[in-house]
Amino acid sequence: MAAFGHTFPFYAGPKPTFPMDTTLAIIITIFLTALVTFIIILPGIRGKTRLFWLFRVVTSLFIGAVILAVNFSSEWSVGQVSTNTSYKAFSSQWISADVGLHVGLGGVNITLTGTPVQQLNETIHYNEEFTWRLGENYAEAYARALEKGLPDPVLYLAEKFTPTSPCGLHGQYRLAGHYTSAILWVAFLCWLLANVMLSMPVLVYGCHMLLATGIFQLSGLIFFSMATPLTPPCPLRMGTAMLHFHRGPAFWITLSTGLLCVLLGLAMVVAHRMKPHRLKAFFNQSVGENPGLEWNPEEGGLLSPRYRSTAESPEPQDIPLSEASSQACCKEQPRMSDPDP
């Protein structure tokens, strides 16, 4: 068997692992494709408008990508520890490994990586996911993990999040995940409406929807923080060390994006009140598109047009008729005045 690298020729080798979550990879690919497409057509835009379009498109794509990506991320609450722990249940063999716990809105991701990876004549590199999304059963996923005989640290952490665990982590994080995910979907809908309204002559309502996008993101963070305390009800002891939680990258990037949406929304609302013409110029909307209507920002925004009064409207102008038409009219008048015989 040396010719086959000490492996059997008709048995599949170890399955390759993708370096990141496939859902996140799809979301990032879609938004990067949209960004690259816009950059390709960007040279066709002339003048200062090119910079305005670049800022608007990049900012909008960033906000939309963040809202979608964090909804499927497992980095809301994370914890990692290097420890010496038992490898298998009912075994006296111990290993040195890095244990990671990643909690998202839809489940838990547990990693176990040996230091070094090769120990006890095995490759110790595990990445297991247990989900509680709608239509999925966490208890069944944990039962399948028991049947597979996963390492003891993975099963220990997964057991803490089961519905029957006295820690109560399952109820806290499952409830927080469902409601926070729903709030983020509402924020994504507001982001879509903001993009549509900002491309139409209703800028003030687009500003309000962008402001609502940030408010919903911050509301989701507040609910998640209140429902999931940083200190778990029961200690998570991994061999000779303790595993502690802290907020992950998804939490902080959602916070920064929510604050960005709020600041941009407030700035655009103030600009609409103070200098609406410059705001229209920034969004490439001509001020003289409809001369019959004048937008009055003091009366509630762009959807509150103030019609010109009779005094303000220009005087009607007489349109002179051609000489031929005037002569024809003069000939027809005497004929119409003659009485019938």
Strand partners, 77: 103, 247
Same domain, yes or no: 153 and 34: no
In a domain? residue 268: no
- Shared domain for 155 and 98, answered yes or no, is yes
Domain-located, residue 302: no
CA distance 181 to 55: 28
Q: Among 91-95, 142-146, 168-172, 295-299, which is the least confidently predicted range?
A: 295-299
Find, among 161, 164, 181, 183, the residue nearest to 172 by Cα: 161
Least confident segment among 31-35, 131-135, 143-147, 285-289? 285-289
Query: Cis ω on the peptide bond leading into residue 232 (within 30° of 0)?
Result: no
Averaged pLDDT for residues 307-325:
48
Same domain, 159 and 91: yes
Q: Does 291 score more than 50 pLDDT?
A: no
Q: Which has the higher per-residue pLDDT, 333 or 267?
A: 267
Q: Which residues are within 8 A (CB) of 66 and not within 5 positions of it... i.e. 6 or more apart?
A: 253, 254, 257
Residue ending a domain, among 206, 221, 247, is: 247
| Residue 275 confidence (pLDDT) | 82
Predicted confidence at residue 90, as pLDDT, reads: 76
**Closest Cα to residue 17, out of 127, 92, 102, 103?**
127
Residues 48 and 152 in one domain: no
Average pLDDT over residues 43-67: 86
In a domain, 30, yes or no: yes
Is 84 a member of any domain?
A: yes
Looking at every residue in the chain, the average pLDDT score rounds to: 79
The answer to the question of residue 186 being in a domain is no
Closest CA to 72 of 129, 119, 14: 129
Is residue 51 predicted with pLDDT exceeding 90?
no
| Structure confidence at residue 88 (pLDDT) | 84
Confidence of residue 149 (pLDDT cuts 50, 70, 90): confident
Which of 72-76, 81-85, 239-243, 260-264 has the highest average model confidence (pLDDT)?
Answer: 260-264
Is 294 part of a structural domain of the chain? no
The range of the structural domain enclosing residue 67 comes to 22-72
Q: What is the pTM of this model?
A: 0.74
Of 220, 247, 274, which residue sits at a domain end?
A: 247
Q: Which of 221, 247, 273 is the last residue of a domain?
A: 247
* 56/86 same-domain check: no
Q: What kind and span of H or E run contains 204?
A: helix 203-227
The pLDDT value recorded for residue 282 is 77
Integer angstrom CA distances of residue 104 from 61, 175, 248: 23, 12, 9
- Residue 133 shares a structural domain with residue 82: yes
**Is the same domain home to 51 and 83?**
no
Q: Same domain, yes or no, for 92 and 66?
A: no
* C-alpha–C-alpha distance, residues 250 and 73, integer Å: 7
Greater model confidence, 323 or 187: 187
pLDDT digits (tens, 9 = 90+) for 119-135: 888 888 899 999 998 87
34 and 141 share a domain?
no
In a domain, 80, yes or no: yes
| Whether residue 154 sits in one domain with residue 27 | no
pLDDT for 15-50, tens place per residue?
A: 444 445 678 888 888 999 999 988 898 888 777 778
161 with 141, same domain?
Answer: yes
Q: Are residues 47 and 98 in the same domain?
A: no
The domain tally of the chain equals: 2
Identify the pLDDT of residue 78.
92
Is residue 141 one of the residues assigned to a domain? Answer: yes
Label residue 204 by pLDDT band (50, 70, 90): confident
* pLDDT given for residue 48 in this prediction: 74
State the Cα torsion 110-114-119-121 to the nearest 10°: 40
